[in-house]
């Protein structure tokens, strides 16, 4: 006679969240929320979310480090980027906010690295930086670098849209070679 055993496994989680201000100036307030999950088992987890608040509006998954935004020279605009970093989700969005009028522009940047290397001016080095390279009436060009990688991002303000990312990276397989690429609209081309 066959013998069957059915088991029901129930895992309960206790979630604890704590939020603290990690950066604040006269333009933005940045918070970090730590979510701790404690299952009644041998495993536990922690995740965090960095959010930026501008004029009372909160944006989650902000990229970079303090101050988390770039000021666009000669304008009253700031730029910051949201979306999980380097996960291939295609969710990068460039946000432009006019500090005088509160006007907002949101440019989808898909898989782009933009915003990942924003950091304080005093901590920028030749090997880690993200800065506004040039500004015209219709275009903002941003240059960035991390270790031996270099990026350039083009934002069309007239449309508005994220035009492209240009990158120069060392080839991970063939040492001494360099990969040069262009991602139109920040989209990684299908192979």
pLDDT in tens, 39-65: 654 445 566 889 999 999 999 999 999
∠39-43-46 over CA atoms, to 5°? 80
Q: Rounded CA gap, 142 and 147, in Å?
A: 17
> Does residue 147 come out as left (phi exceeding 0), alpha (psi in the -120 to 50 range) or beta?
left
Which of 1-5, 17-21, 60-64, 90-94 is predicted least confidently?
1-5
pLDDT per position as a tens digit, 59-87: 999 999 999 999 999 999 999 999 987 65
- What average pLDDT does the chain have? 88
Residues near 13 by beta carbon (within 8 Å), at least 6 away in sequence: 37, 38, 39, 40
pLDDT value of position 43 = 47
pLDDT value of position 128 = 95
| Global pTM value | 0.84
pLDDT value of position 190 = 83
pLDDT value of position 3 = 57
**Pairing between β-strand 77-82 and β-strand 70-71 as defined by DSSP bridges:** antiparallel
pLDDT value of position 41 = 45
DSSP 40: S
């Amino acid at each position: 006679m066959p013998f069957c055993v059915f088991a029901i496994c129930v895992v309960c989680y206790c979630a604890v969240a704590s939020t603290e201000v990690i950066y604040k100036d006269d333009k933005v307030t940045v918070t970090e929320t730590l979510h701790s999950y404690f299952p009644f088992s041998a495993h536990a987890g922690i995740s965090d979310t960095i959010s930026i608040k501008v004029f009372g509006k909160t944006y989650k998954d902000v990229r970079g480090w303090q101050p988390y935004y770039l000021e666009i020279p000669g304008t009253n605009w700031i730029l910051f980027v949201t979306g999980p970093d380097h996960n291939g989700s295609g969710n990068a969005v460039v946000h432009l906010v006019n500090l005088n009028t509160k006007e907002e522009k949101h440019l989808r940047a898909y898989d782009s690295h933009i915003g990942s290397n924003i950091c304080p001016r005093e901590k920028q080095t030749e090997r880690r930086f993200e800065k506004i390279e040039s500004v015209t009436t219709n275009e903002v060009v941003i240059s960035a670098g991390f270790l031996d990688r270099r990026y350039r991002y083009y934002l069309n303000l007239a449309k508005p849209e994220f035009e492209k990312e240009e990158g120069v990276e060392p080839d991970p397989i063939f040492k001494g070679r360099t990969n040069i690429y262009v991602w139109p609209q920040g989209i990684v081309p299908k192979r």
